[in-house]
Amino acid sequence: MSNRLLLGCACALMVVAGCSSDNPGADGGAHVDAHVIPGTDANIPPGVDANLPDAFVPGADAFVLPSDTGVDAFVSTVDAGMTDGCELGNTYPALDLHTLHTFGGANDLPVGIVLAPGRDDLFVVLRNGTIVIMDPVTGAVGGTPFLNITSRLGGTPMSGDEWGLLGLAFHPDYETNGLLYIAYTANVGGGAMPYSDRVAVATRSTADTATFGSDIFTIADPYANHNGGQLQFCPDDGYLYYGVGDGGSGGDPGHRAQNTMSALGKIHRFQVGPGIPTYNPAPGNPFLTSGGLPTIWLYGVRNPWRFTFDRLTHDLYIGDVGQNLWEEIDFLPAGTGVGANLGWSVCEGTHDYNGSCAGLTGDIAPILEYPHADGDSSITGGYVYRGAAIPALRGTYVFADEVSSHFFALRNCPGVALTRTSFDFTNGSCSGPTTFGEDRNGELLVACFADQSVGRIVAH
């Protein structure tokens, strides 16, 4: 692992890898058709050279990680100036989980909890193709969905599936322009690529409803699993980030994650907004003119299941589900990460998988990994707590494992060995934690897939 580096994102990043039991995890508006290069799996714009190399190793200054020191013992490289909560060490408060709402439909499976600019309501993404509005205090849900794309999914995803509606992000200027973006995987059926991973734009119709516009990015996908689907706007550059898995099956059989001519196993970055073409790779992406697809921002992920920007530091934390043995967390400080390689499938965490980790140059090693033990096998990335209601939790990255339903706390403090601390709720429970959310005040929420519920994390 001595050649692996810690880089950063145009904001910052933590990646987590997990097992083969992965997380699930009326049209209108302008549409610009994208062109498909034969032999690739993604839309790309006209004029991009198709004769590009198979791989690209970024050259960038980086911090070199220390030699492996064991599970949960990597040393933090977080900015020394960002110490909120670090004086508390690895001590965490007792917590309860208060259930806000339990969904009644057989396929009402929550996979996203999102805020819209200017609203206190919670927008809950259900994998069946609907988005509903939830009161953040009472948990009451409106009778009419905010958005319904069930007709675009090609069927109804069941509890064991990973395709369907997966992500939502509101444009930072949503109050003015009414634009929002969704990520979904559709079952298109037949052939070698029976699934399609898509990012689409929608437009606010009324205060509590939106209308689907058009797909702005599509990826042909050979398998039903490893679809990612997280969408986030970076608070520093204002661009839209989209995470997608390696195409599925197991072990990355197509070696797509390391192939920068494949859109799978990547985090993509787009510039979006009013007056901007629907297909628009963000300025500064590493492969705009050569070396790979122009939308790629970083590569080498297996199934990035939930990534978030710290609302204080703008560092990015990503959960990327691993294969057979290791779940991992990678971290990219704010302002870094363009063209970064996160290592899959050459490596699973810090361990050799389809090759030798020691042979990689310029890739990013995780800041923490944990083994498939005690039932853990599929990480759900969370948030750094920046609320005020639980002072003893501040600065803590809270995440979970969907398969075991274990919850974890981690403080990423300067020069300190990182320690993953497991915790249980004193009151309340969550079976199958599939995603986290923040309310307007930075307080944390969690969606429980098996319980079909959304709950609020509070002090005991």
Place of tokens 């058709």: 33
361: confidence class by pLDDT, cuts 50, 70, 90: confident
pLDDT reading at 459 higher than 50: yes
What is the token pair recorded at 431? Answer: 């079976």
DSSP string, 244-275: E-S-SSSS-TT--TT-TTSSSSEEEEE--STT
Question: Which residue type does 129 have?
Answer: G
Terminal C-alpha separation, the chain: 41
Q: Which residues, other chains included, contact 23 with Cβ-Cβ below 8 Å and sequence gap of 6+?
A: 162, 303, 305, 306, 321, 378, 379, 380, 402, 434
* CATH no. for 5-459: 2.120.10.30
Q: Which residues, other chains included, contact 41 with Cβ-Cβ below 8 Å and sequence gap of 6+?
A: 193, 219, 220, 221, 247, 256, 262, 263, 264
**DSSP state letter for 67:** P
Q: How confident is the model at residue 58, as a pLDDT?
A: 29
Q: How confident is the model at residue 137, as a pLDDT?
A: 97
Q: Which residues, other chains included, contact 17 with Cβ-Cβ below 8 Å and sequence gap of 6+?
A: 302, 303, 320, 321, 322, 323, 326, 327, 328, 344, 348, 349, 366, 369, 379
- CB-CB contact of 45 with 34 (8 Å): yes
455: buried, middle or exposed (CB in 10 Å: 19+, 13-18, 0-12)? buried
Provide the Cα torsion 295, 298, 300, 302; round to 10°: -70
CA distance 384 to 313: 10
Burial 343-372 (b: 16+ CB within 10 A, else e): bbbbbbbbbebbeebeebebbbbbbbbbeb
CA distance 50 to 54: 11
Q: How far is CA 325 from the centre of its chain?
A: 21
In terms of phi and psi (left: phi > 0; alpha: psi -120 to 50; beta: otherwise), the region of 50 is alpha
Q: How confident is the model at residue 19, as a pLDDT?
A: 36
Q: How confident is the model at residue 63, as a pLDDT?
A: 24
Q: What is the H or E stretch that residue 211 is in?
A: strand 209-221
CA distance 88 to 128: 41
Place of tokens 């530091």: 313
The predicted model gives 149-159 an average pLDDT of 94
CA distance 419 to 357: 23
Please provide the average confidence, as pLDDT, over all residues in the chain. Answer: 86
Q: How confident is the model at residue 31, as a pLDDT?
A: 30
Q: How confident is the model at residue 78, as a pLDDT?
A: 60
Q: How confident is the model at residue 52, as a pLDDT?
A: 29
Specify the higher pLDDT residue, 172 or 279: 172
Q: How confident is the model at residue 355, as a pLDDT?
A: 95
Q: What is the pLDDT of residues 114-151, one digit of tens each?
A: 999 999 999 999 999 999 999 999 999 999 999 999 99
- Ranking 10-14, 202-206, 349-353, 442-446 by mean pLDDT, the lowest is 10-14
241, β-bridge pairs: 232, 269
- CB-CB contact of 155 with 187 (8 Å): yes
Radius of gyration for the chain, computed over Cα atoms and rounded to the nearest angstrom: 20
CA distance 414 to 86: 8
Specify the higher pLDDT residue, 71 or 388: 388
CA distance 448 to 455: 8
Most confident region among 5-19, 33-47, 112-126 by mean pLDDT: 112-126
Q: What is the H or E stretch that residue 379 is in?
A: strand 379-384
pLDDT reading at 41 higher than 80: no
378: confidence class by pLDDT, cuts 50, 70, 90: very high
pTM of the predicted model as reported, rounded to 2 decimal places? 0.86
Query: CA angle at residue 272 from 131 to 26, to 5 degrees?
Result: 40
The CA-atom distances, in angstroms, between 279 and each of 211, 215, 262 are 19, 9, 17
CA distance 88 to 282: 39
Maximum alpha-carbon separation in the chain: 59
